[in-house]
Amino acid sequence: MSRYRSTSVHLLGGCNASSDPSQGVCNPSGQVFDTKSHNSVHPGLYVCDASLIPCSLGINPCLSIATVAEHVSRNLVSDVLKYKSDKGMILVNNLGDAKPGSITSVKLDSHLKSMVVVKETMRGYVGGMPCTAYLKMQMNSRTRKELDRKSRLHGLSHPLLRGQVGGYVLFNAVETDKLHIVDGEVDLCEVDERTPYTQYMHYTLLLAASSGSRYILQGKKVLNPYLFGSFAWSQTMTMNVTFNKVCIDSSKEDMLNLKGKLSISMIELLKCLVSLEGNMKRRFVGVLLQNLFRTYISQVPRGNHRDFNPSEFHQKPYPESILHEIQTVINKIRKLHGPLIKIHVVAHCAGGLAIHIALMGGHVSATHIASLSCTNSSMFFKLTTSSKVKMWLPLIPMSMVILGKNKILPMFKTSKASSRQRLLKSIARLVPRYERCTCDECEVLSGIFGNPFWHDNISPSMHYWLNKQNLPRLPMAGFPHLRKICNAGFIVDSNGNNSYLIHPERMALPTLYISGGRTFLVTPQTTFLASNYMKLHHPDFRHERVVVDGFGHSDLLIGEESYKKVFPHIISHIGLAEQGKNYALGNERRRHNTEALAWGGDPLEEGNRGFWGCISPLVTIWLLFLFLVMVVYIFH
């Protein structure tokens, strides 16, 4: 190693620095040469210790090592700052006027001086294991997002509500040490193009463990301005979290995908407000209150959402009268493909009700059906609280009176409507709902039905097609019957009598019932009851039931991600039926028998929301405001 004869008992060299890549491992700044390309280095890889010194010094090398380390770290710091400013994370003033060699002379943008520091502690469970996040957020500091084209297009939230996050996370089940936040961003009032009324608090944290592993924690609080069944308080306090391990190669055993909830307690919130730092804290609280007011009370949409049109919309002719009676359709198929043909039925919502009515009512024989898959529909119809309230109110009989003889409601804003129809549409616009939309047709339809889908699950093209192309007229004549079914909770005939459930023997076929886990209109109990009913009456057949997380009602079939989260269940059900696997085997039959009688509790049903759930949401919101205003006045 040494060209000299001097000796040292200290270990030196190994990665010696050199200006020539053929003579050393690192350049004079400690950056490791990339041997694959001439004169280049591995970005971000530094050697910063005694191994840089190429040979023995003959004296105690302690001070030399310290000097080398300081020399390398100076380059390292300026590199990191340059990288961050390139990525738009921090804008650094020109380093030229800094005293040479002095790291403290690095000046931050004057913009950063007027920041607000928020300290927040959130506790909860991720993947069923306790987890605590101690966050220190510097609001009003620039984040990567500003460079993001999408957020620029749809209206950024106030700079005071965006910032960088530091601190650490304790998650002992995964790593015994602290997980330090090496890079974190927060946006307290993000708005999605598709949901302009709803605000999201977004946290994205890159965590580093002393073991060398890296994790990404993403948290989202949804501030949804819906009126009935609103849980504004718990929404604002609770963050839905995903926790993933960063893997270089995605081999299965290395993967870690956990979900959970973290929330801030009342005391922690108080502490957080008291410990606000920075000269703009009053302004910060003001802006935050203003945003909460806009979301929950004045309900003003944000951003430029007027043109919720898809850019790549393909205009296709759509047949006017697509609706036929199920019986006619099945007969037609049998006529075309021979009487032995069997049909796989995939039905949604009222379509599912219809096929059940057709089967149990004896209009169609189960021998013609190979398999039945239903999304959010069955012989049962269990509504969410808000839909229930709406069904109890005499809204439908009133609508019928308003409409008079002509029960067909024109849907498009441009189409001609009588004064009665216009009146009904304006009433529909006033009905409270979970999510608001800037599209008029969407507003009328969700007022009449309740929201059929979560907007963030639907692509802009699908939204456009549904509201501007698909449904020119809404036939309202069937609504009184639908109301009777909803109020009964199961299929009844148009007089409200139970005349279908008495013929379960006619349902001899394999079934699959799918519910959305993020409920809209109907709850997962709908499919729970249907599946149990089938297991009870036809334990010999294969019966499956799936609750898909994150989906609401019609987005199960038409959602942007349905093809990978919902359709595979249907395809597998059809595939098994094609292979003749329609019958339950010994064990499965026994399981069916036990499950069929467990009518009581649905293991997949969402829990009771407790006290705050039964208080009127508007009261909750006003209480929250009063509380925040009081805190600000007392402590500032």
Binding residues for Zn ion, rule: CB under 5 A, are 437, 439, 442
CA gap 377, 536 in Å, rounded: 18
In degrees and rounded to multiples of 5, residue 585 shows phi and psi of -85, 175
At its nearest, how many Å lie between Zn ion and the CB of residue 443? 8
Beta carbons within 10 angstroms of residue 498's beta carbon: 11
Instruction: Kindly tell me the burial class for residue 213, based on how many C-beta atoms sit within 10 Å of its own C-beta (0-12, 13-18, 19 or more).
Output: middle
At its nearest, how many Å lie between Zn ion and the CB of residue 351? 21
At its nearest, how many Å lie between Zn ion and the CB of residue 437? 3
At its nearest, how many Å lie between Zn ion and the CB of residue 436? 8
At its nearest, how many Å lie between Zn ion and the CB of residue 304? 16
Q: Between 299 and 327, whose beta carbon lies closer to Zn ion?
A: 299
Q: Between 52 and 437, whose beta carbon lies closer to Zn ion?
A: 437
Residue 328, both tokens:
């006619």
Q: Between 371 and 562, whose beta carbon lies closer to Zn ion?
A: 562
At its nearest, how many Å lie between Zn ion and the CB of residue 557? 17
At its nearest, how many Å lie between Zn ion and the CB of residue 428? 14
- How does DSSP assign 203-253, residue by residue? EEEEEE-TTS-EEEEEEEEEE----TT--HHHHHHEEEEEEEE--SS--GG
CA gap 222, 208 in Å, rounded: 27
Query: Is-contact 514 527, C-beta < 8 A?
Result: yes
Query: Is-contact 546 445, C-beta < 8 A?
Result: no
Strand order in the sheet with 511-516: 343-348, 369-375, 511-516, 543-548
Residue 586, both tokens:
């010994």
Q: Between 120 and 456, whose beta carbon lies closer to Zn ion?
A: 456
Residue 324, both tokens:
């036929």
* N-to-C CA span, the chain: 66
CA gap 327, 343 in Å, rounded: 12
User: Which uninterrupted H or E stretch holds 433?
Assistant: none
Q: Between 157 and 457, whose beta carbon lies closer to Zn ion?
A: 457
Q: Between 437 and 584, whose beta carbon lies closer to Zn ion?
A: 437
Q: Between 462 and 486, whose beta carbon lies closer to Zn ion?
A: 462
At its nearest, how many Å lie between Zn ion and the CB of residue 302? 15
Residue 356, both tokens:
């059940």
Convert 551-590 into a string of H (helix), E (strand) and C (coil): CCCCHHHHCCCHHHHCHHHHHHHHHHHHCCCCECCHHHHH
At its nearest, how many Å lie between Zn ion and the CB of residue 293? 23
Q: Between 439 and 557, whose beta carbon lies closer to Zn ion?
A: 439
Beta carbons within 10 angstroms of residue 420's beta carbon: 16
At its nearest, how many Å lie between Zn ion and the CB of residue 445? 8
At its nearest, how many Å lie between Zn ion and the CB of residue 463? 6
167 to 132, 137, 138, 139: CA distances (angstroms): 11, 8, 11, 14
CA gap 462, 469 in Å, rounded: 10
Instruction: Kindly tell me the burial class for residue 99, based on how many C-beta atoms sit within 10 Å of its own C-beta (0-12, 13-18, 19 or more).
Output: exposed
**Cα dihedral 24, 26, 32, 36 sign:** negative
Residue 392, both tokens:
């109890």
CA gap 237, 314 in Å, rounded: 42
At its nearest, how many Å lie between Zn ion and the CB of residue 478? 23
At its nearest, how many Å lie between Zn ion and the CB of residue 474? 15
At its nearest, how many Å lie between Zn ion and the CB of residue 222? 17
Q: Between 184 and 301, whose beta carbon lies closer to Zn ion?
A: 301
Query: Is-contact 538 504, C-beta < 8 A?
Result: yes
Q: Between 347 and 442, whose beta carbon lies closer to Zn ion?
A: 442
Q: Between 78 and 438, whose beta carbon lies closer to Zn ion?
A: 438
Q: Between 215 and 308, whose beta carbon lies closer to Zn ion?
A: 308
Q: Between 381 and 551, whose beta carbon lies closer to Zn ion?
A: 551
Q: Between 347 and 439, whose beta carbon lies closer to Zn ion?
A: 439
Q: Between 116 and 462, whose beta carbon lies closer to Zn ion?
A: 462
Cα–Cα nearest to 48, from 33, 26, 63: 26
CA 606 to chain centre: 17
At its nearest, how many Å lie between Zn ion and the CB of residue 455? 6
Query: Is-contact 90 84, C-beta < 8 A?
Result: yes
CA 626 to chain centre: 30
Torsion angle (degrees, nearest 10) of CA 142, 143, 149, 151: -90
Q: Which residues contact 316 (CB under 8 A, 6 or more apart)?
A: none
